[in-house]
């Protein structure tokens, strides 16, 4: 299947493809995938979608440690 794309889109894809070590077609596929996911999940921010896709591409599972702020009032009694 052949698809006609604007030269502007191809030129922009070429720039991004170079930065992310992708071919131009793979860059356009990547953008299409992001767009599809964004349309299917309009409440998700781009950064969240990007992070999920990056995590799926990781070769090894890396544990992530979440640090939550300590509750400063824990153990203290309120004065009446």
In a domain, 41, yes or no: yes
In a domain, 49, yes or no: yes
Q: How many C-beta neighbours within 10 Å does residue 34 have? A: 14
Q: Are 27 and 17 in contact (CB under 8 A)?
A: yes
- Give the domain extent around 49: 30-55
In a domain, 34, yes or no: yes
Structure tokens of 16? 């991004």
The Cα angle at residue 9 between residues 25 and 22, in degrees rounded to 5: 30
Dist CA 63 CA 59 (whole Å): 13
Dist CA 75 CA 53 (whole Å): 41
Say if residue 27's pLDDT is above 60.
Answer: yes
Stretch 37-59: mean pLDDT: 88
In a domain, 43, yes or no: yes
* Count of domains for the chain: 1
**What does the pLDDT read at residue 56?**
81
pTM of the model: 0.63
């Amino acid at each position: 299947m052949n698809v006609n794309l604007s030269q502007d889109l191809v030129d922009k894809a070429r720039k991004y493809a170079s930065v992310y070590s992708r071919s131009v077609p793979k860059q356009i596929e990547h953008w299409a995938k992001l767009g599809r996911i964004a349309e299917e999940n309009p409440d998700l921010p781009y950064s969240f979608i990007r992070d999920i896709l990056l995590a799926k591409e990781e070769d090894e599972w890396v544990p992530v440690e979440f640090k939550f702020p300590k509750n400063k009032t824990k153990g203290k009694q309120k004065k009446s």
